[in-house]
Structure 1
């Protein structure tokens, strides 16, 4: 059945129109040379020869190729639409659909994907079950480290008795001096840190006057970054290159579209159908009509 359908398609297929041959024949008929056409379209002779030879890979891209063919056809007073259709059929390779024959018999599907899915879900389930234990262990480790650090900072002072077991009298300040004959027995408990005899009187530290707040300077914008804004009122194609010649924008826009492109100037712009677009450079309008060629293609530099 598939072979019959392919035979019918092959019999009814119409060979694509060759745009290059049609344009070359029309040019010769009108007595124009390649250089004449190149000067009229503001293109190079190599580009005209590539169009007529249908070597479209030597041209900048499909958007520019369509614009070149359309302008070339208008110059020769031809209808550009059939030529554009032929260009698409010639330049873009057709997608071939091949029939896949499946041999009779039982078809077995690999279960590796389902096994991987089950293994992944099983691992996630185990991780969820182990999460509380992991949190508890982490909390215990953190608490232990905190206690260790606190223990290292708090030094406990213990007064040990002398070689014999007799009581050791303590000399206290006059304000708290006990009566003579009464000896204070030092216990093995740590001395309270608030005892007036253990800590010297702290020195008074002058309070620093608050300094006036210094305003932080605002961030300065990096130099060399400019913006190009495109506003489309109809179909138009645009190519923009930055300071180093890198293409930062290449696209066809339609009515109502708006694009903002940032980069390092100077910019090199190539605009097709310049009458269908408005260009603003750093929010200032740019005139395209005086620079447009007879094919409505504008080329300009923005510094």
Structure 2
């Protein structure tokens, strides 16, 4: 028993995830589908290739993976932090035995600094670019509210007719029934109505059955929205855990359609 625990402690984070997956008889594709990631990302996690995925994203992916296969997510994230620290230390160059020329040393130092800038700067630049795009885009695409067509009430005017003296009450009742039938409103059954409530900031994009953009907007916490469109309606909802949705007055559970934070659902 002690030998098994010692052998587990010597496994890397990726090896522990891989062994737990194999013990549950799950494939890489099964894990990727459940976590809404690509098989390549799962392979890199099991190979401890956290640098390629990025430190911030890797921690989130490892935490989700560990919970799914029944491992202690906090312990794996802590072990993963140790691996990242050792990887950073391994980048330090100690070369005391072989002297390098002044020009050559400067050349390698410049390359090292540029590599660090690329590794840290590119993910941050992409993040800020996506954030700014999400803030600016809604101004060019205001929400489209589709009114519900209602047929005007129609009252039939009946020409006076001679009524037999024996049945005046029956004729009057028939005329009343005919008028009541004529004034029933008609609603459009081909329009889907969506009601949103936002407990936090959330980005919403909606496309109708013709793949036309019905809505593309960033909502703020506390806002509500009433949107109509022609089904099937394809929705992409950011920060889905903080959004409540009703479709044609029926609540819609977004959890089964949510990946890490984004829900993708089609309403018919």
Q: TM-score, normalised by structure 1?
A: 0.33
Larger Rg: 1
- Pick 1 or 2: higher relative contact order, CA cutoff 8 A, min separation 6: 2
Higher helix share: 2
